[in-house]
Amino acid sequence: MLSRPPVPSVSTFAARPDWDVFCRVIDNFGDIGVCWRLARQLAGDFALHVRLWVDDFDSFRLLCPELDPGLSIQVLQGVEIHCWETCFTPVVPARVVVEGFACHLPETFVEHMAHLSPRPVWINLDYLSAEEWVSGCHLLPSPHPRLPLIKYFFFPGFAVDTGGLLRESTLRARRLQFTGSAELRSAWWRELGSTAPPASALLVSVFGYDNPALGDLLRAWEISERPICCLMPLSRPLPVLDAFAGSSLGSGDIIRRGSLEVRVLPFVEQDRYDCLLWLCDLNFVRGEDSFVRAQWAARPLVWHIYPQQAAAHLTKLDAFLAIYCAQLPQASSVVLRDFWHAWNAGRIEAMAWGKLVAALPQLREHALRWDAELSLQEDLLGRLVRFSCSRL
């Protein structure tokens, strides 16, 4: 026999929400980056009433500066955002409940889900991987050991039989509008308190984990034939960059050495970060969400994968390289693979950079093709909403 659920508090929206999305920030920005994007798209593209529960407003605010850390409930971009306090105030669960990256829902909330009729569809949104096992595990049910509830494992991925990738319906149109409009581009630079670098410069964005290979790269860029402008949004100081500069750098600082200009940027709002990726000739990205956004930018990319124990991440890296390089001419494929491996191993030879630059025109064509082909697949939320509807 189930015990009675606690009395719910009143939500800012009158009716019971359509979706609850729970996000615990473990480290960095991937968890909140994905959950915020997903919640915004549910509200924007699907006109759903979404409640987003986040336990760390300080991290969240870096991606979404409008967030008021003093408010425990607020509505932004159509999403009802709640501070996920340690002591969870009971509410009526939504029709669909997304647990971001196995973040463990509050016990009282799970009890409450079990008492509802119909019971909510419970989804665990997992991490992205290009590995083959993902297709076999996507949508596997996991019955609750005690309560009459089933949790489904939803795996993002690159194949049609996985959960796909987050991609808002307006993304491509926004990108084309931005890249095609000199006015929008100069407004973007202006808002950042900066100006566009000369057209002759190779524009590179760098967002990665602390990596000694960055020092190798900066030194190679310093003596590059072509001027290089490197844009680096920082959320915290980067020791390798500071060592290169010889002083501690912060947002707004610029270093000029030989052919290289490094501009340290503030960590920009999520949509503005997209614009940065769209502007650059080459993007260094990391983790999960920036890695996906760089693919939707249709520009060449270098991925710093999130390091895991026993080098498990290298298997993930190779699984992606295998599909990404499948239709890339052999010579460029070797260059790209070698460069990604070297970047992740923390050591870049000057010659490797030279080879990558030479391959850039071909890599750019490939990135356009990759984006076009991958965009033909249904996006993650289309798949997730369809699956949830089938279980409601």
DSSP annotation string for 204-257: EEE--SS-THHHHHHHHHHT-SS-EEEEEEESS--HHHHHHHTS---TT-EEEE
DSSP annotation string for 324-373: HSTTS-HHHHHHHHHHHHHHHHT---HHHHHHHHHHHHHHHHHHHHHHHH
99 binds ligand TRH (CB under 6 A): no
The one among 16, 26, 189, 362 contacting ligand TRH by CB under 6 A? 26
18, 31, 216, 379: the active-site residue: 31
Q: Rule CB under 6 A: which of 203-222 touch ligand TRH?
A: 207
The one among 306, 319, 364, 365 contacting ligand TRH by CB under 6 A? 306
Closest CA to 205 of 285, 151, 128, 321: 285
352-381 mask for ligand TRH (x: CB under 6 A)? ------------------------------
106 binds ligand TRH (CB under 6 A): no
Structure tokens at 11: 């939500």
Q: How far are the Cα atoms of 128, 224, 286 from residue 306, in angstroms, in the given order?
A: 11, 29, 7
274, 288, 289, 371: the active-site residue: 288
Q: How many residues bind ligand TRH (CB under 6 A)?
A: 22
The one among 134, 268, 363, 380 contacting ligand TRH by CB under 6 A? 268
β-bridge mates for residue 202, sequence order: 228
- Return the range that interacts with ligand TRH (CB under 6 A); candidates 158-166, 262-270, 369-377, 380-388: 262-270
63 binds ligand TRH (CB under 6 A): yes
233 binds ligand TRH (CB under 6 A): yes
H-helix or E-strand containing 304?
Answer: strand 301-304
- Return the range that interacts with ligand TRH (CB under 6 A); candidates 210-218, 241-249, 255-263, 288-296: 288-296
Backbone angles phi, psi at 228, to 5 degrees: -125, 130
Q: Please state, in angstroms and rounded to a whole number, the distance separating the CA atoms of residues 141 and 155.
A: 12
Structure tokens at 276: 């940065």
The one among 267, 296, 339, 387 contacting ligand TRH by CB under 6 A? 267
289 binds ligand TRH (CB under 6 A): yes
Structure tokens at 137: 């595990």
Closest CA to 92 of 2, 3, 15, 1: 15
The one among 10, 14, 27, 145 contacting ligand TRH by CB under 6 A? 27
Q: Please, which residue, 90 or 239, has the CB nearer to ligand TRH?
A: 239
DSSP annotation string for 75-132: EETTEEEEE--SSPPP----SEEEEETS----HHHHHHHHHSSSPPEEEEE------T
Q: Please, which residue, 235 or 259, has the CB nearer to ligand TRH?
A: 235
278 binds ligand TRH (CB under 6 A): no
Told to judge if 168 belongs to the known catalytic residues of this protein, a careful annotator would answer: no
216: left (phi over 0), alpha (psi -120 to 50) or beta: alpha
163-202 mask for ligand TRH (x: CB under 6 A)? ----------------------------------------
Told to judge if 85 belongs to the known catalytic residues of this protein, a careful annotator would answer: no
- Return the range that interacts with ligand TRH (CB under 6 A); candidates 10-18, 76-84, 137-145, 266-274: 266-274
Do you find a cis peptide bond into 118, omega within 30 degrees of 0? yes
Q: How far are the Cα atoms of 64, 101, 169, 370 from residue 174, in angstroms, in the given order?
A: 19, 29, 10, 18
Q: Please, which residue, 124 or 270, has the CB nearer to ligand TRH?
A: 270
155 binds ligand TRH (CB under 6 A): no
Supply the minimum distance, in Å, between the C-beta of residue 295 and ligand TRH.
12
28 binds ligand TRH (CB under 6 A): yes
Tokens 């105030």 belong to residue:
89
116-145 mask for ligand TRH (x: CB under 6 A)? -----------x------------------
Q: Interface with ligand TRH by CB under 6 A: which residues?
A: 26-31, 33, 63, 127, 207, 233, 267-268, 270, 273, 286-291, 306
Active site residues per annotation: 31, 288
